Amino acid sequence: MNILQSKSLELRLALRLGAVFLVATILIAIAFFFYLGDRISNSLTRQILFAHADDLAFSIDDDRPIMSADQLVEAGVIEATTAYVIRDQEGNSLASSDLGFEAAVSNVNWTRGRAQYFTLDESDSQAQAYTGLATRESSRRGTVTVIVAEPYNPENAILEEMLEEFAETVVWIIPIFVLVTLGVGIAAIRGGLKPLIKTAAQSANIRPESLSVRLDTAELPTEIAPMVAAFNQAMDRVEEGFEIQRRFTANAAHELRTPLTVISGALENLGSEADTRALRNDVERMTRLVNQLLQVARLDSGVLDRSELIDLKSCATNVVNYMAPLAIDRQRSLALTGTDSPVFIQGNQQAVEDALRNLIENAINHTPIDTEVKVNVSDDYVIEVSDQGPGIDKDLGAQIFERFRRAPSNRAPGAGLGLAIVMEVVKLHEGKIEYINKSEGGACFRMIFGQSSLLATQA
Amino acid sequence: MRLLVVEDEQRIVEVLKDGLEKAGFTVDAVNTAASANSAISNISYDAAILDLGLPDGDGLGVLKEARKQGSQIPVLILTAREAVEDRVVGLDAGADDYLIKPFAIKELVSRIRALLRRPGGALGAVLDAGNLTFDTIGREVTIGRNPVSFSRRELSILEILLRRFGRVVPKEVLEEKLYAFDREPESNAVSVHVHHARRKLKEQNASIKIHTVRGIGYILVDQK
């Protein structure tokens, strides 16, 4: 991945800041060097040398011989200390201050279109150290090369060296400066982004059951605050939507159950039981379907509070008590077995009871007349519902837990929502549902409640 | 027996009135919280059936108001919401029972009868279910027209089951009522007495039957 395209705002800002600093520093350094270089080249010695070279070239006449060194000194063209060589275009020496200097600068030449500065150290043939200039000048005898030198002046040299040294030091400071600035920049960015990270953590905690949470805008940078405020407003609308959904569930319950009450009541008041049996069965089916749809709606709304400490044993007792009259009416019996002590988990009582009710309803539908449906609660957080019916076709596998999926052989009333509800409830409790066909006959569904619901209660 | 029905849904009122009147009750119906409050304070009803959602207020408000006025009227709440909290809130507010819509009229009638059988209820002295009548003061039971003799403990069991007709009564509740604190009941004493009572009911062709809900207790229901 291209690092510049990185999604990290921090990295992006740091990289751009670093690039800006680098470019700015390089530009400043270049400008500085040009300025400094200009100053060095315009330093005193060099100005004198240029002036001498200029004057020497000007002193050359086309018809008179070139003046001797002494004459030149006398004419004020050069100083007594000045050494020089004048060469024609072919490199032949036209004049010089002395032969020793001429020999010493035999290698020095005008090159590449610009003036050359040079220094001559003291040596055997040379009693003096010189700072010199080789340049090309136009004269009345055409273009000539003038090499001119002044004795080395320590005062001027120290100044120049100081300038050079300063420039060299600055070269080293630049990268350090860039790095330090970058570091400070990153720290500043990081500090500036801290409220954003906090905001991100806050928003990560928003769940369907905690929709009232709003992100704190107090500490946010003014550039980010409007975005977060807009997010908060979006959350307002989402919460409102959820609230409407929640109210819809309650309203739908009321709206659907009222006509069902009317119909079933009217049927009961009407004529003999035999006449209305079929109709009453229809109403019962519709009632069950409405109840299941509401359970599904509740589960789907995602607002299930799983924080209560609930006792699986008392859930089972409630549901068995509730279902017993129905079972007896259908000539089946219900039994509750297993542990005598409470089995606590963290969860939602209503949901667990809904799930269990669906399992028991199914079992009652499948167990033959005059047999028993057994509900067993064990200390290891398992609720089992077993019937004495024909068992479940193993080929169906997990399909039976899908919504609206019904076994082809299943002729009992129902829409195929029951086991889907059980599945959802068990999943919400980080548990699992499994079924077996018992060797002695009949199906057995096991709701196994999950580790996290258990750990939460121990904490 | 005069009942007050507080319900704003006209069709439900019609059905309730029809069913309850067929069961022998006199029924007055009101459809607002305000009229419910004035009805309860002016007329001595034997029981009230209260819908939670009313146009001018919550049914719970009616209930709280009635209890504040010192009314002991047995109240059965009708609700379309089955959430545990809703039930608990209703019972905490002083309701005696609740039914979740949709419900069977038969069930409503038997719940109302059970409420009336409770101590303080007008029918507290004589309990009846199906073709059985239990005079709780004379401690006499008749099935059809015939007096049937039950032992003291069988009578106690029958009385408790009758007062909670159609609902599961935990075995522990029967044990508590049957034995004084200082006497530890034998482990199967209750089931032996239930067994005897059940046999007598069957021998005398009673229309009600004691069913066992294994692991919890017993339930008295109309026989099919």
What amino acid occupies position A107? N
- Which residues pair with residue A118 across a beta bridge? A132
Cα separation, B224 vs B208, in Å, equals: 9
Under DSSP, is residue B202 helix (H, G, I), strand (E, B) or coil? helix
CA distances, A161 to each of A119, A170, A174 (Å): 13, 14, 20
Q: Cβ B213–A320 below 8 Å, yes or no?
A: yes
Cβ neighbours of A270 in B, within 8 Å: none
The residue among B78 and B83 whose pLDDT is bigger is B78
CB-CB neighbours of B33 under 10 Å: 21
Contact B159, B129 (CB under 8 A): no
Please determine, for residue B82, whether its predicted confidence score (pLDDT) is greater than 70. Answer: no
3-state secondary structure A14-70: HHHHHHHHHHHHHHHHHHHHHHHHHHHHCCHHHHHHHHHHHHHHHHCCCCCCCCCHH
Any residues with CB less than 8 A from the CB of A308 and at least 6 apart, and which? A346, A347, A348, A349
Nearest residue to A137 via CA among A211, A54, A72: A54
Mean pLDDT of B126-133: 84
What is the reported pLDDT for A244?
Answer: 78
Q: Check residues B51 and A271 and name the one with the higher pLDDT.
A: B51
Over residues B86-109, the mean pLDDT reads 79
Angle at CA of residue A39, ends A37 and A45, nearest 5°: 110
Residues of B in contact with A323 (CB under 8 A): none
Q: CB distance A269–B219 less than 8 Å?
A: no
Of all residues in chain A, the one with the smallest CA distance to B211 is: A328
End-to-end CA distance of chain B: 27
Chain A residues touching residue B12 (CB < 8 angstroms) = 258, 261-262, 265
At A143 the pLDDT is 84
Cβ–Cβ under 8 Å, residues A145 and A170: no
Q: Which residues pair with residue A132 across a beta bridge?
A: A118, A149
Most A-contacting residue of B9, B14, B15, B172 (CB-CB within 10 A), to test interface: B15
CB A120 within 8 A of CB A149: yes
* Chain A positions in Cβ-Cβ contact with residue B9 (cut-off 8 Å): 258, 262
In this complex, the residue of B19, B101, B216 whose CB is nearest that of residue A268 is B19
If chain A, 459 residues long, is cut into consecutive pieces of 10 residues, what is the mean pLDDT of each piece? 60 78 80 68 72 84 80 83 84 82 76 72 71 83 84 70 73 78 82 81 78 79 83 87 73 74 80 73 80 77 77 94 90 93 90 92 91 94 93 76 66 70 88 88 90 46
- Of the candidates A257, A269, A320, the beta carbon closest to that of B102 is on A257
Q: Which residues of A touch B84 (CB under 8 A)?
A: 349-350, 353
What are the b/e assignments for A354-384, b being 16+ CB within 10 Å?
bbbbbbbbbbbbbbeeebbbbbbbbeebbbb
User: Mutation test of the interface with chain A: which of B9, B31, B87, B101, choosing the one with the most A Cβ atoms within 10 A?
Assistant: B101
3-state secondary structure of B201: helix
The answer to whether residues A62 and A140 touch, using CB atoms and an 8 Å cutoff, is yes
Please report the pLDDT score of residue A37 as a whole number.
Answer: 62
Q: State the complex-level ipTM.
A: 0.71
Q: How many CA atoms lie within 13 A of A369 on its CB side?
A: 3
Q: What's the pLDDT tens digit per position in B136-180? A: 778 889 998 889 999 888 998 998 898 888 889 999 888 887 776
Q: Which residues of A lie closer than 8 Å to B, measured between beta carbons?
A: 250, 253-254, 257-266, 268-269, 283, 287, 317, 320-321, 324-325, 328-329, 331, 333-338, 349-350, 353, 372, 374-375
Mutate to test the interface with A, among B198, B213, B218 (most CBs of A within 10 A): B213
Predicted pLDDT at A388: 93
The CB density around residue A346, as the number of other CB atoms within 10 Å, is 21
Give the pLDDT of residue A321.
92
Poorest-pLDDT segment among A6-10, A221-225, B53-57, B69-73: A6-10
SS3 of chain A: CCHHHCCCHHHHHHHHHHHHHHHHHHHHHHHHHHHHHHHHHCCHHHHHHHHHHHHHHHHCCCCCCCCCHHHHHHHCCCCCCCEEEEECCCCCEEEECCHHHHHHCCCCCCECCECEEEEECCCCCCCCCEEEEEEEEEECCEEEEEEEEEECCHHHHHHHHHHHHHHHHHHHHHHHHHHHHHHHHHHHHHHHHHHHHHHHHHHHCCCHHHCCCCCCCCCCCCCCHHHHHHHHHHHHHHHHHHHHHHHHHHHHHHHHHHHHHHHHHHHHHCCCHHHHHHHHHHHHHHHHHHHHHHHHHHHHCCCCCCCEEEEHHHHHHHHHHHHHHHHHHCCCEEEEEECCCCCEEEECHHHHHHHHHHHHHHHHHHCCCCCEEEEEEECCCEEEEECCCCCCCHHHHHHHHCCCCCCCCCCCCCCCCHHHHHHHHHHHCCCEEEEEECCCCCEEEEEECCHHHHHHHHC
Neighbours of B174 (CB within 10 A): 23
